[in-house]
Every structure is written in structure tokens, then in C-alpha cells.
Amino acid sequence: MNTPPPPPADSAFSGDEQGYSRDDLDRIVAETFVERVEHRPECASTNSRALELAGDNSASCTLVLADRQTDGRGRGENRWWSAEGALTFSVLVKPDLFRLPTRRWPQVSLTTGLAICDAIDELLSDPPACLKWPNDVYLGGRKVCGILVEGTDGGERSLVVGVGVNVNNSATAAPAELREKSVALCDVAGRSLPRVDVLVAILQQLARQLDRLGSEKEELQSQWTCRCLLTGRQVEIELPAGRRMGVCRGIDADGALLLETDGGTERFVSGVVTRFD
């Protein structure tokens, strides 16, 4: 389909409202830090669209919300599986709003994950959501959410926080290779959940946690470690120079993964966890 034109500069909303009513969009602006919503029935990548919007230095905190995402990006060459009923969005965040110094930007992915864990716990009584370093959220041992944070270059630098949450797209409909590794909120709740409720809860928690990150609250590290799915497990991590294995000892104050290896405790600021036992 043809890409819809960008919204008028004086409009708070845009796009076909199928899936989200005008009241839903009004509610997002009224109850969260988001100042503007660009809603599309279909979008290749909400992150790519948000990065386009970031080119306008006057852009406000804008939410790009898609009913369907056809080419969602993950870290590296990864692609995010998405189906009807998923919650897919990206937020263009102005770091000054949360007093976020550039040196804290690498922790935004974990902080977003923590916010999503807290939001899921608000909506579901059990099981607790967990962080899989560096950018996934798990529920009951299966992946329920992926996060991709990207920074813009030049001009007034901004952050784009991209999130994909399996809400009403049951994992039973996932590709065979993902079926045993994925879960949706509806699978756990045993019912459908209004996506706007999930979205508002996430955005409210995101504002809370980003504010704490900007204030350099020390308890963030303890919460990352408390939520860490990998703590105490044997982990294999893939790096440009090869693979390393060790027992996870949590996450440090800079967001680095701590592994106890034969050579002692090592910290990893990047990498891909390929296996954990």
C-alpha cells in the first residue's frame, strides 16, 4: 500500500483510526508525556518513521503508533515478528525532558524494559515479567516484548524508543520456530486486553523510569538485577571477537552484563545472548 502522507503540522493526530478510536488517541496525550500521536493502520517500521520525524528539530515528543507493522527492526539484522493484535509503536523522546545526559543513553534500553515489566505486572497478576539483557522482556520464560533504541545524529539530538509487545496476537499463531519461544499477554491472561490500556501503562511507567535515570537513582541497578532473567544462569554471549560463556552475576550500574568466567568476573556492554541455561 502507499505510505500515508505526514500529518499536518498543526494536527495532534493523523491516520486511519481503525483499531484505535479518537478517544483512545486523546487519552494517550492526556494521560502520558506524549504530545502528539501519528497513528497509521500499517507501517513498515515505526522506528524508521520516528527517525524521519526527528529530522525536524522542532518535533515534540511524538508517538508513532501502527495497527500493523510489516518490517519491524530488531538489533542488528534481526526482524520482529508481528501479527494482528500486537502493540507496535515508537516514541520520539527529547532527552532534555528527562534531563538525560548523553552518557546515560546506553541505559535507556534496559530502563525501557524495566518500565514494560512494571506495566505488565500492573495488568497481570502472575507471572512476573523479567528482563533479558539487553533489550527483551520475558514472561513465564518466553519472549513477550522486544525493544530497539536508536539515537539521531546532528542538530538537536533525540532518542527513538521502539517497542513491540505481543498483546492479542497469540503465540499459537506464531511461526513454528518461534511458537515455543514466544508468548502474548492474551495467552497468559486468558482473554484479550485493550491495547490502549497496555500502551498507556507502558508510557506512564516509561516516563517514571526515564525520570529516575536522568536523576541517576542508584536503585535502578538493583531493579535491573532483580528483574534479570539471566542471573545465576550459564550464559553464552556472542561478540565480534567470538563467543564467551559464564554464569551471570547481574547487571552493573552502567547497564553492563556481568559474567563470572574462568578468568574472573567480566563485564559486557554489548553482545548477543545466544543461549542461557
pTM: 0.88
User: Which residues, listed in sequence order, are joined to residue 41 by a DSSP beta bridge?
Assistant: none
pLDDT level of residue 116 (50, 70, 90 thresholds)? very high
User: 191 and 161, same structural domain?
Assistant: yes
User: 52 and 172, same structural domain?
Assistant: yes
pLDDT tens, position by position, 126-159: 899 999 999 999 999 999 999 999 988 755 688 9
Task: Show the domain range for 257.
Answer: 230-276
pLDDT tens, position by position, 36-64: 999 999 999 999 999 998 877 566 799 99
User: 236 and 150, same structural domain?
Assistant: no
Dihedral, 38, 42, 46, 51 alpha carbons, nearest 10: -70
User: 87 and 131, same structural domain?
Assistant: yes
**Structural domain includes residue 249:** yes
CA distance linking residue 141 with residue 170, whole number of Å = 16
User: 197 and 68, same structural domain?
Assistant: yes
Q: Note the pLDDT of residue 154.
A: 56
Provide the CATH number for the domain around residue 255. Answer: 2.30.30.100
Provide the CATH number for the domain around residue 41. Answer: 3.30.930.10
**Structural domain includes residue 75:** yes
User: 79 and 27, same structural domain?
Assistant: yes
Q: Note the pLDDT of residue 123.
A: 95
Between 218 and 215, the higher pLDDT residue: 215
**Structural domain includes residue 47:** yes
User: 211 and 91, same structural domain?
Assistant: yes
Which of 34, 29, 1 lies closest to 16 in space, CA to CA?
1
Percent of the chain with pLDDT over 70: 87
Phi-psi region of 76 (alpha: psi -120 to 50; beta: other; left: phi over 0): left
User: 238 and 115, same structural domain?
Assistant: no
When divided into structural domains, the chain yields a total of: 2
**Structural domain includes residue 16:** no
Which of 249, 81, 244 lies closest to 169 in space, CA to CA?
81
**Structural domain includes residue 6:** no
User: 194 and 61, same structural domain?
Assistant: yes
**Mean pLDDT throughout 177-205?**
93
Between 10 and 158, the higher pLDDT residue: 158
**Structural domain includes residue 17:** no
Q: Which of 77-81, 115-119, 121-125, 170-174 has the lowest mean pLDDT?
A: 77-81
